Amino acid sequence: DPHDRQGFAHFMLKEIYEQPEVVRRCLATYLKPDWNSDRDAALPATPFNLAFPEALFAVAEIQIVACGTSRHAGLVAQYWLEQLAGIPTRVRSASEFVSAPFPLTTNTLTIAVTQSGETADTLAAIEVAKKRRSQSDVSLQSWSLGITNQPDSSLTKAVDYTLPTLAGAEVGVAATKTFMAQLVVFCCLALAFAVRRRVLSPQQLVDTIAALRLLPDQIETTLKQQHEPIQTVAQTFTDVKDCIVLGRGMNRAIALEGALKLKETTYIHAEGYAGGEFMHGPIALLDAKVLVIAIAPAGNVYDQMLANAQKAKTNGAPLIGITNVTESSDRAVFDHQITVPAIDELLSPFLTVTPLQLLAYAIAVQRGLDVDRPRNITKTLIH
């Protein structure tokens, strides 16, 4: 029963802890069970259960509309769709899209992402997109897809196809497990596109599927090993007023998501930035009172991220690092290190987000706040 806290102090914590199971469930649904990593065996053409017409896999462009946390999932997906599948992808806040829609392009898939399936801005955006496309003088090939945790929602009625996120009802106002489920669905979608478009080597595919299958255990490990240390770190920063979360590449979206979790549950003024962009002005904010959290998984952007973190430290800011690099020399940079399991950089958002959810939760509890029902907001924004 999703409305029973099952011994957890809050729904938010319970839902954070459900994430391994949610990932397992989504993978069981979207990955074909008979597809194994033995490349000598006769593999089914694709490892994914995504019943789209062939023509849809040939789209020239993808446009994503969503709000809040769902938009952040869209921003991670933008990296996967562009870097893995090579499809030009745009993401816009649904509320901005309504007054400033993307230019009309042919052969385009519009994706609306909404946990509730009822967010007014997102429903309005999908209607605007459909209307503009159908009223165009030239015939534009168009498809619409909804990604939602509520398969019976208004969104489902508005789109051609729906991919459910299978996270179970989410009660806490702060989205946690539904974000994780959105990432799984988007990752499978991007990989399915990459396979059909033949832009992924067989080895890359085999490796990525194997890595995806490790995720539930790795999230479990993160929860087991990091929950207590994060509670201790949270005690140090209970009274912090400002926080900057830095990420690069696809972890910029996780920085935005971490900052949103902090804002809505702890009321700390928190901002997410791309590490490089942060140097162009915002770094002037830093002093010993501003907490900086650097998301620094091993990979292409690791060295640059570490340089950004070092710079923050030089400017006096206390520094938390979320990383899977454990060499002692690097460790010295961070005042507090939260270690997540080793993973390919491409899949790192699955593991870097959970420490931020736990940190926001722990600080909110220490501040004595109503974690599951923050002030001024409701779970779903229907006008």
Sites of contact with ligand AGP (CB under 6 A):
67-70, 114-116, 119, 122, 173-175, 264, 380-381
211 CB contacts (<8 Å, ≥6 apart)?
A: 343, 344, 347
Q: Which is nearer to ligand AGP, 330 or 372 (CB)?
A: 372
Least distance (Å) between residue 257 CB and ligand AGP: 8
CB of 163 to ligand AGP, least distance (A): 14
Residue whose C-beta lies closest to ligand AGP? 68
CB of 266 to ligand AGP, least distance (A): 13
Strand-pairing partners, residue 91, are 64
> Is the Cβ of residue 73 or residue 319 nearer to ligand AGP in the bound state?
73
d(CA 329, CA 22): 36
Cβ closest to ligand AGP, residue 82 vs residue 118: 118
Diameter of the chain by CA atoms?
Answer: 62
Least Å from the CB of residue 116 to ligand AGP: 3
Q: How far is the CB of 185 from ligand AGP (least distance, A)?
A: 13
CA distance 54 to 287: 55
Which residue lies nearer to ligand AGP by CB, 156 or 204? 156
Question: 265, 361 in Cβ contact below 8 A?
Answer: yes
3-state secondary structure 74-101: HHHHHHHHHHHCCCCEEEEEHHHHHHCC
Given a contact cutoff of 8 angstroms between Cβ atoms, the answer to whether 274 and 255 are in contact is yes
CB of 27 to ligand AGP, least distance (A): 21
Q: What is the DSSP letter of 57?
A: G
Whether residue 115 contacts residue 166, with contact meaning beta carbons closer than 8 Å, is answered with: no
Of 334 and 361, nearer to ligand AGP (C-beta) is 361
Give, for 352, the enclosing helix (H) or strand (E).
helix 349-366
The backbone region for 106, taken as left when phi is positive above 0, alpha when psi lies in -120 to 50, beta otherwise, is beta
Specify the residue, 18 or 330, whose C-beta has the smaller distance to ligand AGP: 18
| DSSP code at position 338 | E
Q: Look at the block and give the residue holding tokens 């619409």.
A: 144
Alpha helices in 31-150 (DSSP H): 68-79, 94-99, 120-134
Instruction: Compare residues 31 and 295 and give the one whose CB is closer to ligand AGP.
Output: 295
Shortest Å, Cβ 374 to ligand AGP: 8
Contacts of 93 (CB under 8 A, 6+ apart): 65, 66, 67, 71, 121
Query: Is 116 or 222 the residue whose CB approaches ligand AGP more closely?
Result: 116
Amino acid at 284: A
Q: Do the Cβ atoms of 64 and 113 come closer than 8 Å?
A: yes
Tell me the chain's radius of gyration from C-alpha atoms.
20
What minimum distance in Å lies between the beta carbon of 121 and ligand AGP?
8
Closer residue to ligand AGP in complex, CB, 323/354: 354
Least Å from the CB of residue 270 to ligand AGP: 13
